[in-house]
């Protein structure tokens, strides 16, 4: 009596629909919502375990106005991608890492979470049911957005009595409007993304709402995004609104250590391993903002942004430019290694990809 039986039946009954390519303009995909065919829903009530997950037609969901997520922000999200290979098989990248990160976040946010197996199985079902939305090779990827939210009604502040796990997907291309051209960042030293003991280290929805003010101001002033500093000393790099940051100097690549205020990115972790395997020395440590001044290269990593070269950083009114009009040598090497692996263009010696 598999909880996924109904989902499998539904996916099977639409397999012919799922096998063709959707009729959209595949060139120049950006990073926006393109509605697809199905989403996945699974609920958890008082007993604390999720069951009865199923695919449903993609569409709006019903929520009580008193839902915990709407009133008190009890919610988490994840992001991962699926790529289509030339032979039409689909590759997922490290989905169990997202499942584990959701579990850790759920613990911090007082929520039950799906098991790793339930999470990965649900991702697979959702991608297969929406297979026609996975872009052709070289045109982009299918972005997978799992959500976990307190959907039960509360009024007094308390964990919600019911939780919903939902996955929807959207075909995407480049995250930044710059495409793969270098992005221009501004360092923010007044507004902070995270505080010690807070929730900066988990992927809770509120972390992302909290950066919108600084991000909007930066965009209005022509910057691509904001680089945040630690809120105690106001001198150590933390992360960019939607991605982690790396600083290159010679053969040494440094990135802020994970210490509760920085999101433990799966792309971050993968790039560290790829860089070490290529002979770079990678240091996870406190990285001072001043180090940006004499860096050879700076780049960002994230599921959505992949690896994005940084062209300039502005701090206290001064602009440091890295003199790039594309990737720097190091970011290019790491980007190629990672994406060739994610797209199935090179042997996966790390055993990171999952084929569907």
Active site amino acids: 203
The whole-angstrom separation of Cα 45 and Cα 163 is 7
Residues contacting ligand COI: total by CB under 6 A: 6
Of 67-75, 111-119, 219-227, 302-310, the segment contacting ligand COI by CB under 6 A is 302-310
79: contact with ligand COI by CB under 6 A: yes
Q: Which of 130, 255, 303, 331 binds ligand COI (CB under 6 A)?
A: 303
Token pair belonging to 299 = 């780049």
Question: 112 vs 302, which CB is nearer to ligand COI?
Answer: 302
Shortest gap between Cβ of 344 and ligand COI (angstroms)?
A: 20
Q: Which residue is nearest to ligand COI (CB)?
A: 79
Indicate the angle between helix axes 116-129 and 5-13, nearest 10 degrees: 10
The tokens for 53 are 């997950």
Give the x/- contact pattern for ligand COI in 208-227, rule: CB under 6 A.
x-------------------
Residue selected from 116, 191, 304, 354 as contacting ligand COI according to rule CB under 6 A = 304
Interactions with ligand COI, residue window 138-197 (CB under 6 A):
none
Query: Is 201 an interacting residue with respect to ligand COI (CB under 6 A)?
Result: no
Shortest gap between Cβ of 203 and ligand COI (angstroms)? 7
Which of 242, 270, 331, 342: binder of ligand COI (CB under 6 A)? 242
Shortest reach from residue 79's CB to ligand COI, in Å:
2
Q: How far apart are CA 84 and CA 134, in angstroms?
A: 6
Q: 11-18, long-range: CB within 8 Å, 24+ apart, which pairs?
A: 11/38, 11/55, 11/125, 11/128, 11/129, 14/38, 14/129, 17/132, 18/128, 18/129, 18/130, 18/131, 18/132
Among 302, 309, 311, 344, contact with ligand COI (rule: CB under 6 A): 302
Nearer to ligand COI, 14 or 228 (CB): 228
Nearer to ligand COI among residue 21 and residue 191 (C-beta): 191
Q: Which is nearer to ligand COI, 79 or 152 (CB)?
A: 79
* From 12-20, 42-50, 274-282, 299-307, span contacting ligand COI (CB under 6 A): 299-307
Residue 135 or 302: which CB sits closer to ligand COI? Answer: 302
Q: Which stretch binds ligand COI (CB under 6 A): 18-26, 187-195, 268-276, 301-309?
A: 301-309
Judged by the rule CB under 6 A, the positions of this chain that interact with ligand COI are 79, 208, 242, 302-304
């Amino acid at each position: 009596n598999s909880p996924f039986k109904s989902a499998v039946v539904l996916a099977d009954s639409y397999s012919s629909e799922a096998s063709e390519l959707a009729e959209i303009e595949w060139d120049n995909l950006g990073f926006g919502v393109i509605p697809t065919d199905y989403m996945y829903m699974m609920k958890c009530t008082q007993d604390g375990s999720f069951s009865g997950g199923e695919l449903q037609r993609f569409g709006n969901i019903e929520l009580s106005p008193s839902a915990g997520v709407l009133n008190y922000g009890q919610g988490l999200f994840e992001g991962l991608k699926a790529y289509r290979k030339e032979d039409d098989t689909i590759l997922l990248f490290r989905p169990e890492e997202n499942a584990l990160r959701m579990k850790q976040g759920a613990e911090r946010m007082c929520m039950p979470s799906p098991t790793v197996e339930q999470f990965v199985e649900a991702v697979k079902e959702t991608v297969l049911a929406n297979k026609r939305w996975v872009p052709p090779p070289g045109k982009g990827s299918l972005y997978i957005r799992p959500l976990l939210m307190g959907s039960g009604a509360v009024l007094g502040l308390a964990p919600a009595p019911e939780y919903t796990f939902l996955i929807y997907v959207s075909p995407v291309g480049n995250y930044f409007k710059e495409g793969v051209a270098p992005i221009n960042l501004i360092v923010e030293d007044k507004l902070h993304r995270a505080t010690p003991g807070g929730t900066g280290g988990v992927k809770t929805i509120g972390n992302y709402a909290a950066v919108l003010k600084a991000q909007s101001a930066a965009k209005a002033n022509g910057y691509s995004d904001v680089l945040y500093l630690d809120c105690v000393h106001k001198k150590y790099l933390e992360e960019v609104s939607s991605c982690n940051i790396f600083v290159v100097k010679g053969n040494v690549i440094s990135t802020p250590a994970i210490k509760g205020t920085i999101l433990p990115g799966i792309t971050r972790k993968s790039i560290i391993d790829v860089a070490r395997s290529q002979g770079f020395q990678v240091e996870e440590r406190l990285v001072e903002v001043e180090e940006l001044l004499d860096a050879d290269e700076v780049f960002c990593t994230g599921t959505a942004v992949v690896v994005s070269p940084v062209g300039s950083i502005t701090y206290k009114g001064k602009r440091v430019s890295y003199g790039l009009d594309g990737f720097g040598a190091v970011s290019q090497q790491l980007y190629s290694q990672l994406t060739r692996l994610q797209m199935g263009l090179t042997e996966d010696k790390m055993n990171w990809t999952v084929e569907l």
